[in-house]
Amino acid sequence: MTRHNHDAHDHQHPGDHHGSHNAAARIITVRPASGLSGDIMLAGLAALGGLDNARLAALTEELNLPALQGCVRLEPRSVNHVAGFGCHIDLPHEHEHRTLADILTIIDASSMPERAKETAARAFRLLAEAEGAVHGIAPESVAFHEVGALDSILDTCLVCRLFEELNADRLVCGPLPLADGFVQCAHGRIAVPAPAVLRLLEGVPVCAFAGRGETVTPTAAALLKALNADFGPWPAMTIRTTAISYGTKVFPDAPNGALWALGDAGHQARL
């Protein structure tokens, strides 16, 4: 059943550092057991909000891109006999490379609320700045490959839209687990974290992960920064709703997923 959260309190924009962390603030915390990707964030926020697939489809339609219609659904997923949710995404393959201007035009033409548009645009600007710095070119000259593909546009826009839907004032993320290894991308085989991710992780607390390979994707790193996430331990909060989300990658010794909680700032319980 779809649940809408529209509590009457001052809603701070994510880019405003969420205003003051007062007792009225609504907090989302994510504890990234094995890292974060766009689809893990999408599944976690959708599950946290109790969205059904009809509501998720309606939010996707706001993007006004025919190729994205009916492409995503939330599905039950279990790892080591622990139930959670994941995203099943079915998109047409495309070879189109997009510039930052192309993607900002798509976001601007969407029917998303303005604050969701601003956050999504901020995420892609951060990506373009990071990619540009890595390749020694201006952000406007970056040709997005994986990052500009439909799935990253979908993940970025829907995560920003769901954050708005959940009416959250603050996002708190645990330290991001990082591993050694390699990932295959448009530029060939590169070490992880990928160079753009490495740039986006500046100022972000990280910790070791026992597996190998990519644990934090460029989309996730940019979204955390665009949502102005705080990084640290569990915040002082009264938990209202929880969720577990899983990705599709399999690590031999760890579940690939994240824990989520939504609640109100402070310790006072009102049960």
- Give which of 69, 145, 155, 156 is closest to 121, Cα–Cα: 156
Q: Do residues 260 and 45 touch, judged by C-beta distance below 8 A?
A: yes
**Tokens 């079915």 belong to which residue?**
90
Rounded to whole angstroms, the Cα distance separating 69 from 66 reads: 5
Q: Do residues 244 and 260 touch, judged by C-beta distance below 8 A?
A: yes
Beta bridge partners of 264: 26, 238
pTM listed for this prediction = 0.88
Q: Do residues 65 and 94 touch, judged by C-beta distance below 8 A?
A: no
- Residue 99, Cβ density class (10 Å: 0-12 exposed, 13-18 middle, ≥19 buried): middle
Q: Do residues 110 and 118 touch, judged by C-beta distance below 8 A?
A: no
Instruction: Strands of the chain (E only): list them.
Output: 26-31, 72-79, 82-89, 170-173, 176-180, 182-185, 188-191, 206-212, 230-231, 237-246, 257-265
pLDDT per residue of the chain (271 residues) written in tens, 0 to 9 = 333 333 333 333 444 444 444 546 999 999 999 999 999 999 999 999 999 999 999 999 999 998 898 899 999 999 989 999 999 998 877 767 788 999 999 999 999 999 999 999 999 999 999 999 998 999 999 888 765 678 889 999 999 999 999 999 999 999 999 999 998 877 789 999 999 999 999 999 999 998 899 999 999 999 999 999 999 999 999 999 999 999 999 888 788 999 999 999 986 555 4
Pair type for strands 26-31 and 82-89:
unpaired
3-state secondary structure of 104: helix
**Tokens 């504890």 belong to which residue?**
31
Say what the pLDDT of residue 113 is. 97
Say what the pLDDT of residue 5 is. 38
Rounded to whole angstroms, the Cα distance separating 82 from 72 reads: 22
Residue-wise burial string across 6-32, b where 16 or more C-beta atoms lie within 10 A, e elsewhere = eeeeebbebeeebeebeeebbbbbbbb
Percentage helix, strand, coil for the chain under 3-state DSSP, each rounded to 5: 35, 25, 40
**CA contacts within 13 A on the Cβ side of 231:** 14
Give CA separation, 82 vs 86, 216, 252, 256, in Å: 12, 22, 16, 12
Would you give the DSSP letter of residue 112? S
Say what the pLDDT of residue 146 is. 61
